[in-house]
Amino acid sequence: MSTDKIVLQAEDLKVSFPVRRAGHSTTVQAVRGVDIRLRAGETLGLVGESGSGKSTLARALMRLIPSEGTVKFDGLDVSHLKSGAFRKERKRIQMVFQDPYSSLNPSLTVGASIAEPLKVHTKLSSAERAQRISEVLTLVGLNADYADRYPDEFSGGQRQRIAIARAIVLNPEVLVCDEAVSALDVSTQNQVINLLEELRDKIGLSYLFISHDLAVVRHISDYVAVMYLGEIVEEGPVDRIFEAAAHPYTQVLLNAVPVPDPVAQRATTKLLLRGDIPDPTNPPSGCAFHQRCPFAMAICAQTAPPKVEIPGGGAAKCHLHTSGPVLAGRPINSLTEAEITAETATGKDGSAGESLAAASMPAPSRVTVPGRPESSL
Amino acid sequence: MTDAKDALLSVENLRLEIDFNGAWTPVVDNVSFSVRPGETLGLVGESGSGKSVSAMSLMGFLGRQRGQRVSGTAMFQGRDLLRLTDRQLESMRGNDIAMVFQEPMTSLDPAFKVGHQIAAGIRVHQDVTAAQAKELAIEAMDKVRIPNARVRAESYPHEFSGGMRQRVLIAMAIANNPSMLIADEPTTALDVSVQAQILALLTEMKEDLGLAMIFITHNMGVVADVCDRLAVMYAGQIVEEGDVFETFAAPQHPYTNRLLAAMPSITSRRGSLEWIPGSPPRPTDFVTGCRFAPRCRHRLESCELPTTLLEISPGRSNRCLRGNTWMQENES
């Protein structure tokens, strides 16, 4: 399915906004040097909490907002194209937004909404447009007759299908889905996700799938990037990220998702984050996550961690993988409590006791249930 | 429908009707449940299932205006909430029963310091001076682990993050020592890491203060985390009620079963995601028989008969006319 062709790529992408804080103007770096690559036929999941810069990154990729760095569509650098030249390229990438109630013009029929991109980007006659509109409506699982109706006659799920039909009408290579299923009930959400997967196979779309819902991201993505405070702190193949997360932030995020199984959910040792996402106008020194990290070491406050490759694919920006203590040859945050207990009890590794003592991190930071974890503030 | 005698709140046949162009339409239909002290009941369902509307009718926010009518009983500490005067209800709301809503942004007044807002709620219900109320407000902020409560009491809502604002609302809710808390999607607008903090806090409050809680949510993971029992709502009715562990292990109603099967999993990957054909009916389209039947793969002709929520074992009820016989059918 996926090939080596890279349909969307960003190199060292930066976005900053001017803001006013307490009377004086300053800038906030919303995206701080991001590299991404989306292969043809692949889904890149982009996760992170509100304020992490996911949506800003998507907007910058589509040149909806100004940015620094390079953006390539299908190998072509579009970052410096003049707006006229860029308009020809823009149709390669289309976007689907979160709210299907506000993304469709209520005074236009469904057909007229879908026709707009065709009018802007093609020279099709009105008969040809009508033909294409009924094609895409069928493709998204709707009745071709719906073209004559108005958005208010449709449910949230159907509206999202209409939004997808409009997004694919120009045959784009990439669809950027910004929280595209977040406002929907689970059954409707699943139908839309199944539709996206079907379209991927049928017309060879690639997705940049932005979501805060990690279970959905696990389902749909091939590759996942985790953003924190404007940076990608970890990336990798989906199974590696979900089964062996290497960055403490990814680990906390995954741990925070409640599992719909009371036995498993209550047996989980909860890792609670301290505090809130820092003020982006004044990001912390060193690693942006160090103040909230359960494994923080002295170096984390001083130096920004380099990007290191992680076994199993992808990379993480975390000092634990270069300067941190190791146990049985692995960074301590990659071990389970059982493994730590086993290693330290048997003393298989001569340096184990020593390096664990030097770290002295996982034990106090991992709070044990029953009862409840200490709320860590 | 558990034993009503040791219940703190016992709701029987709650019905809310709304006048849609001259036709009285039941939006909430014969809803019965009870909550014991220290217990958390999850009220779950998709949007439009009637979960928030049920809670709003209990609290008198719905059903008292023109074009709406409410019936049934809701016994709370020996009094029927549905028959209290507006004034009696006002003295109970925020005092014996408190509420926390989804939107921490809109539930606070942006023009007042949070300490002042919490104190104002205290002075409505307690005979204390402004200075004492302020101290109680700071105490409540401390209880919900707002760091530096004394200083933060002087901050305005916009100076707090979403998670901290939700803590402020919980502080406001517990400031008058209520015996019951109704939490309506309190973590839905929050990020997962913040949601985990707030869920841990609510569970702790429940344990420390012996609070009974009605937890309204659409998220089955949240139910699995915090609830002792759950009532699943569909089209204005409870279709299944029971202990959380038992219900998740063996759902008795096909709707609960489909809903649980549809949850995408974070621990494993499946082929394609499950979904339920069709969409929930609008109140004006409610049928007399099983309301889920049009979407149910186990539907029989007999499913057109009127349904009742039947107790199938102590503390467990099911509305499916087929009982659990549908389980033997091939899941395909």
pLDDT attached to residue A363:
36
- Residue among A155, A194, A375 whose CB faces B145 most closely: A375
Residue type, B149: A
Domains within chain B, CATH numbers bracketed: 9-96+178-280 (3.40.50.300), 107-175 (no CATH)
Contacts of B267 in chain A (CB under 8 A): 242, 259
A280/A198 same-domain check: no
Assess contact for B246 and A264: CB atoms under 8 A: no
pLDDT attached to residue A40:
94
Any bridge partners for residue A96, and if so which?
Answer: A177
Question: Does the pLDDT value for residue A117 go beyond 50?
Answer: yes
Tell me the per-residue pLDDT of B227-249, one tens digit each, with 9 for 90 and over.
999 999 999 999 999 999 999 99
Average pLDDT over residues A151-170: 93
- Select the more confidently predicted residue: A165 or A273: A165
A48/A169 same-domain check: yes
Give the position of tokens 């991927």.
A200
Token readout for B25 is: 């339409």
Residue A234, domain member (yes or no): no
Question: Does the pLDDT value for residue A84 go beyond 60?
Answer: yes
Contact check, Cβ <8 Å, B164/A239: no
Question: Does the pLDDT value for residue A98 go beyond 90?
Answer: no
Residue A370: phi and psi, rounded to 5, are -75, 175
Beta pairing class for A93-96 and A174-178: parallel
Task: Point out the least confidently predicted range of A180-189, A358-367, B3-12, B271-280.
Answer: A358-367
A138/A275 same-domain check: no
Residue A29, domain member (yes or no): yes
Q: What percent of chain A has pLDDT over 70?
A: 90
A211/A258 same-domain check: no
Contact check, Cβ <8 Å, A372/B204: yes
Average pLDDT over residues A3-26: 88
A241 sits in which H/E element: helix A238-243
**What is the CATH classification number for the domain harbouring A71?**
3.40.50.300
Contacts of A187 in chain B (CB under 8 A): 46, 258-259, 262, 275-276
Best CA proximity match to A93, nearest among A69, A72, A122, A114: A72
CA triple A115-A120-A121, angle to 5 deg: 100
Question: Does the pLDDT value for residue A364 go beyond 60?
Answer: no
A127/A273 same-domain check: no
Contacts of A239 in chain B (CB under 8 A): 269
Best CA proximity match to A320, nearest among A309, A310, A331: A331
What is the extent of the structural domain holding A132? 6-228
Give how far B290 is from chain A: nearest CA, Å: 19
Best CA proximity match to B305, nearest among B297, B296, B293: B293
Residue A47, domain member (yes or no): yes
Contacts of A259 in chain B (CB under 8 A): 221, 224, 265-267
Of the pLDDT bands very low, low, confident and very high (cuts 50, 70, 90), residue A3 is: low
Residue A48, domain member (yes or no): yes
Residue A375, domain member (yes or no): no
Residue A344, domain member (yes or no): yes
Q: Calculate the dihedral angle through the C-alpha atoms of A152, A155, A157, A161, rounding to the nearest 10 degrees.
A: -40
Contact check, Cβ <8 Å, A276/B164: yes
Tell me the per-residue pLDDT of B39-77, one tens digit each, with 9 for 90 and over.
999 999 988 899 999 999 999 999 999 999 999 999 999
Contact check, Cβ <8 Å, B224/A218: no
A253/A195 same-domain check: no
Contact check, Cβ <8 Å, B266/A254: yes
Average pLDDT over residues A291-319: 94
A152/A257 same-domain check: no
Cβ count within 10 A of residue A167: 25
Question: Does the pLDDT value for residue A168 go beyond 50?
Answer: yes
Question: Does the pLDDT value for residue A356 go beyond 50?
Answer: no
Q: How is B74-120 classified by DSSP, letter by letter? A: EEETTEEGGGS-HHHHHHHBTTTEEEE-S-TTTSS-TTS-HHHHHHH
A327/A207 same-domain check: no
Tell me the per-residue pLDDT of B129-155, one tens digit each, with 9 for 90 and over.
999 999 999 999 998 989 889 999 999
Q: How is A219-230 classified by DSSP, letter by letter? A: HH-SEEEEEETT
- Residue among B196, B264, B265 whose CB faces A256 most closely: B196
Give chain A's count of helices (H) and strands (E).
14, 14
Token readout for B113 is: 């310091």
Tell me the per-residue pLDDT of B16-49, one tens digit each, with 9 for 90 and over.
999 999 899 999 999 999 999 999 999 999 888 9
Task: Point out the least confidently predicted range of A36-50, A73-87, A250-264, A319-333.
Answer: A319-333
Best CA proximity match to B245, nearest among A371, A260, A256, A368: A260
CA triple A353-A310-B265, angle to 5 deg: 100
Cβ count within 10 A of residue A60: 24
CA distance B8 to A333: 45
- Select the more confidently predicted residue: A165 or A347: A165
**For testing contact with chain A, the best of B146, B260, B267, B292 (most A CBs within 10 A):** B267
Best CA proximity match to B64, nearest among B118, B30, B17: B17
Give how far A89 is from chain B: nearest CA, Å: 33
Tell me the per-residue pLDDT of A186-212, one tens digit each, with 9 for 90 and over.
999 999 999 999 999 999 899 999 998
Question: Does the pLDDT value for residue B278 go beyond 50?
Answer: yes
Largest separation between any pair of C-alpha atoms in chain A: 78
- Select the more confidently predicted residue: A263 or A88: A263
Q: What percent of chain B has pLDDT over 70?
A: 97
How many beta-carbon contacts under 8 Å exist across A and B? 134
- In the predicted model, what is the mean pLDDT of chain A? 87
Of the pLDDT bands very low, low, confident and very high (cuts 50, 70, 90), residue A152 is: very high
Q: What is the DSSP letter of B22?
A: T
Distances (CA, A) of B258 to A174, A190, B251, B289, B292: 32, 12, 9, 19, 11
A98/A21 same-domain check: yes
Domain end position, chosen among A228, A254, A277: A228
Domain end position, chosen among A203, A228, A253: A228
Contact check, Cβ <8 Å, B267/A259: yes
Question: Does the pLDDT value for residue A375 go beyond 50?
Answer: no
Of the pLDDT bands very low, low, confident and very high (cuts 50, 70, 90), residue B330 is: low
Give how far B183 is from chain A: nearest CA, Å: 17
Of the pLDDT bands very low, low, confident and very high (cuts 50, 70, 90), residue B211 is: very high
Mark out the alpha helices in chain B (DSSP H runs). Answer: 51-58, 86-92, 114-125, 130-143, 149-152, 162-174, 192-209, 220-226, 244-249, 254-262
Beta pairing class for A326-327 and B9-20: unpaired
Of the pLDDT bands very low, low, confident and very high (cuts 50, 70, 90), residue A367 is: very low
CA distance B166 to B189: 10
Contact check, Cβ <8 Å, A187/B275: yes
Question: Does the pLDDT value for residue B306 go beyond 50?
Answer: yes
A192/A321 same-domain check: no
Assess contact for A258 and B222: CB atoms under 8 A: yes
pLDDT attached to residue B104:
67
Assess contact for A154 and A127: CB atoms under 8 A: no
- Residue among A214, A255, A265 whose CB faces B224 most closely: A265
pLDDT attached to residue A102:
86
pLDDT attached to residue A361:
40
Assess contact for B34 and B231: CB atoms under 8 A: no
Give how far A372 is from chain B: nearest CA, Å: 7
Residue A370, domain member (yes or no): no
A32 sits in which H/E element: strand A24-39
Residue A199, domain member (yes or no): yes
Best CA proximity match to B265, nearest among A190, A223, A50: A190
A36/A181 same-domain check: yes
Contacts of B275 in chain A (CB under 8 A): 187-188, 190-191, 194
Question: Does the pLDDT value for residue A81 go beyond 50?
Answer: yes
CA A305 from centre of chain: 21
Which chain A residue has its CA at the smallest distance from B266's CA? A215
Contacts of A212 in chain B (CB under 8 A): 191-192
Question: What domain count does chain A have?
Answer: 2
pLDDT attached to residue B191:
87
Question: Does the pLDDT value for residue A376 go beyond 50?
Answer: no
Contact check, Cβ <8 Å, B224/A261: yes
Contacts of B272 in chain A (CB under 8 A): 194, 197
Of the pLDDT bands very low, low, confident and very high (cuts 50, 70, 90), residue A354 is: very low
A279/A200 same-domain check: no
